[in-house]
Amino acid sequence: MAGRGGAQRPNGATQGKICQFKLVLLGESAVGKSSLVLRFVKGQFHEYQESTIGAAFLTQTVCLDDTTVKFEIWDTAGQERYHSLAPMYYRGAQAAIVVYDITSQDTFGRAKTWVKELQRQASPNIVIALAGNKADLANKRMVEYEEAQAYAEENSLLFMETSAKTAMNVNDIFLAIAKKLPKSDAGNANQQRQQGVRLNNEQTQPSESGCCK
Amino acid sequence: MSQECILSGMLSVTGKKVLHMDRNPYYGGESASLTPLDLVFKHFGKEPPKGDDVYGRGRDWNVDIIPKFLMANGQLVQLLISTGVTRYLEFKSVEGSYVYKRDGKIHKVPADEKEALASSLMGMFEKRRFRKFLQFVQEFDENDPAKWQGVDPNAMPAYKLYEKFSLDENTQDVTGHALALYLNDKYMNNPCKELISRCKLYSDSLSRYGKSPYLYPLYGLGELPQGFARQVAIYGGTYMLDKPNLKIRYDEQGKVVGVEDDKGDMARCDVLVCDPTYVPEKCKSIGKVVRAICILDHPIPNTKDAPSVQIIIPQNQVNRKDDIYVCVVSNTHQVCPKGFYLAIVSTTVETSSPEQELKPGLDLLGPILEKFVSVSDLYEPDDDGKESRVFITKSYDATTHFETTCIDVLQTYRRITGENFDPSKIQRQSEDGCQQEQQEQ
């Protein structure tokens, strides 16, 4: 699979509205969070992806009919390692992908903890997807598909097994999230993000990070 | 702790490897915003209200322990921009800045000439003199003696500058305390250069966003250390929270070699940066600050229902040596549920009954639902770090902005690295893959 289907990418001018959403990644270290983002945003994969540094957040868009969904994707920058993710990380997130490694039962257990953490800390309307990554390593599988699916259903999560290496289901999981996100501008968590000012060197305008301008 | 977070940020963006350990399970130490509300009660040794939701949802509260605003054109804003941390934050302008007068009333500090002319703060002739003074300050250029109008900024004391413009005592109070934000009157005999530049900072900050020169981050001050922490993590720094009982280890010469946690694991380092609470033996107390955090269910009387204000009570007006400050924020800053207001009243302690000293400030608030009073020691390092390589920041002083904090941060950075912080040396990461920074907007 080539990585990205053309149909999901905005080519040239886009019609319709643009919605921007903050999406956060969660999961144990080394389950492939950054690799999923790198595959989704750049169509790349590195076998020996280093622990995440350098990415404040990356952006990528997905096209749905007349709407362009723009993801502002936040990676943990390693702050999950010593349980030091700050509340700021979850703040204003409208979507989350909780990642585990299908070859490790431990990481699945941790994923469940992250889901609980999101239900406690994040906005109540957050769309959560569970990604069983490293699906290309099926011969080392320790977490059964059915087990994860049953858990996801119980908790109303989107669920897919993914492979950042082969690109399996990577775009699909982002697309599924995009479909599930509310695209109307009223009453959702975006509103919170429209009221402040951002600082910059020149002058400051009201933030335009909200949905559907 | 916020100084340490800022320093971590500055050090990591200029290429140092940083490990950040904190005894608390949250970021920012004293500059954290406590959440949920129960944690605030526990922090001050009070029993949280049971069962009923008198105070709404606990997690909607983000309660600052220290009262601070950012000057819109101040040094912290510059640091936020130069380190890139600003991308994680949103701010709101503080609505109003007020000053207290002997008559017991509060008056709006004029935001522009029109307000100045309409202000009830001073009489007609005084207003004209005040305007002349403000014009002088605005046009003042340190490098252009032609504009000095006979004022030598390095020699003329501040009180002489007031005399030159014939400003009365009342106007001097407003200028020195509500504009130049001096804590007391010790500046009067110092060269007027600083007074001028402080007044300039006030008016430059005011002109940036309008209603007041102050900014406040949405979700509370605790966002600042979190933002710096995230930036450090992005530059490869490691964070460990919830590490109580850290022990600092030294070699025979007294130079730091590392920090040991309660399991006996040692993190080695060449340089240690910390606040005074981690090394009380290397610090001296230079005074105390008393603060009262108050929960209200109404805006501050006589502020036109402003959702955020600062009120300065100049020392002279209440026969004290140090000013009293009132800082108010509310639901529009995402620090409490709708209908609530958070006010912090603070001052430098002068007597043996510190809470009593806050009375003029508390009296301005109207009925108070809950009050958390604390007295904190102000510490200063007694060790410059030259030998020990332990660099200690100062405690937060009584000022209600971050200017003195930033001076401390910049000086500490210089003590550590031997050079001034140079934002142009920040390593912009643009390598392959995820190392790319992509900033939108």
Q: Does B87 touch chain A (CB under 8 A)?
A: yes
Q: Does B308 touch chain A (CB under 8 A)?
A: no
Check CB contact under 8 Å for A54 and B431.
yes
Q: Choose from A190-194, A207-211, B53-57, B350-354 the range with maximum mean pLDDT.
A: B350-354
User: How far separated are the first and last CA of chain B, in Å rounded?
Assistant: 30
- Number of other residues whose CB lies within 10 A of the CB of residue B355: 15
Q: Residue B108: CB partners within 8 Å, gap ≥ 6?
A: B96, B97, B98, B115, B119
Q: What is the pLDDT of residue B275?
A: 94
Q: Which fold has domain B112-209?
A: Guanine Nucleotide Dissociation Inhibitor; domain 1 (1.10.405)
CA distance B320 to B313: 10
Task: Find residues 315-344 of chain B whose CB sits inside 8 Å of chain A.
Answer: 332, 334
User: Closest Cα to residue B77, out of B222, B235, B208, B175?
Assistant: B208
Question: What does the block give as tokens for A87?
Answer: 């509340």
| A174 confidence band (pLDDT: 50, 70, 90) | very high
Whether A195 shows a pLDDT value over 70: the answer reads: no
Sheet strands (E) in A108-180: 127-133, 158-161
Q: What is the pLDDT of residue A101?
A: 98
Q: Does B152 touch chain A (CB under 8 A)?
A: no
Check CB contact under 8 Å for B438 and A207.
no
CATH architecture, range A17-180? 3-Layer(aba) Sandwich (3.40)
Give the position of tokens 């209600």. B400
Give the position of tokens 């949802």. B57
CA distance A128 to A95: 6
User: Closest Cα to residue B310, out of B237, B215, B218?
Assistant: B215
Q: What is the pLDDT along chain B (441 residues), one digit of tens a residue?
A: 578 999 998 998 888 999 999 999 899 988 999 999 999 999 999 998 886 678 998 989 999 999 999 999 999 999 999 888 998 899 999 998 999 998 889 999 987 777 777 888 888 899 999 989 988 998 899 899 888 888 999 999 999 999 999 999 999 999 999 999 998 999 999 999 999 999 999 989 998 887 789 999 999 999 999 999 998 888 888 999 999 999 999 999 999 999 999 999 999 999 999 999 999 999 999 999 999 999 999 999 999 999 999 999 999 999 999 999 999 999 999 999 999 999 999 999 999 999 999 999 999 999 999 999 999 999 999 999 999 999 999 999 888 889 889 999 999 999 999 999 988 888 665 333 333 333 332
Residue B30's alpha-carbon distances to A81, A165, B63, in angstroms, are 24, 44, 11
The pLDDT tens digits for A79-125 are 888 878 888 898 889 999 999 999 999 999 999 999 999 998 888 89
CA-based angle B236:B242:B248, to the nearest 5?
80
Q: Are the C-beta atoms of B284 and B370 separated by less than 8 Å?
A: no
Domain range list for chain A: 17-180
CA distance B435 to chain A (A): 4
Task: Find residues 65-84 of chain A whose CB sits inside 8 Å of chain B.
Answer: 72, 75-79, 81-84
According to DSSP, the residues that pair with A73 across neighbouring strands are A23, A58
B405-417 in b/e form (b: 16+ CB < 10 A) is bbebbbebbebbe
Q: What is the pLDDT of residue B59?
A: 87
User: How far separated are the first and last CA of chain A, in Å rounded?
Assistant: 34
Q: What is the pLDDT of residue B254?
A: 96
Helical ranges in B165-222 per DSSP H: 169-173, 193-209
- Higher-pLDDT residue of A191 and A65 is A65
Q: Are the C-beta atoms of B168 and B130 separated by less than 8 Å?
A: no
According to DSSP, the residues that pair with B332 across neighbouring strands are none
CA distance B250 to B112: 56
Q: What are phi and psi of A58, to 5 degrees?
A: -110, 155
CA distance B422 to B26: 29
Question: What does the block give as tokens for A184?
Answer: 């109307």
CA B66 to chain centre: 8
Q: What is the pLDDT of residue B439?
A: 33
Question: What does the block give as tokens for A79?
Answer: 């702050």
3-state secondary structure of B88: helix
Number of alpha carbons in the 13 Å side-chain half-sphere of residue A66: 4
Q: What is the pLDDT of residue A4?
A: 39
CA B197 to chain centre: 18
Q: What is the pLDDT of residue A208?
A: 39
Q: Residue B220: CB partners within 8 Å, gap ≥ 6?
A: B33, B62, B63, B64, B329, B333, B334, B335
According to DSSP, the residues that pair with A22 across neighbouring strands are A72
Q: Does B28 touch chain A (CB under 8 A)?
A: no
Domain range list for chain B: 112-209
CA-based angle B119:B125:B127, to the nearest 5?
35
Check CB contact under 8 Å for B434 and A83.
no
What is the torsion angle, in degrees rounded to the nearest 10, for the CA atoms of residue A74, residue A78, residue A84 and residue A87? 0
Question: For the whole model, what pTM was predicted?
Answer: 0.87
Check CB contact under 8 Å for A58 and B87.
no
Q: Does A87 touch chain B (CB under 8 A)?
A: yes
- Higher-pLDDT residue of A46 and A73 is A73
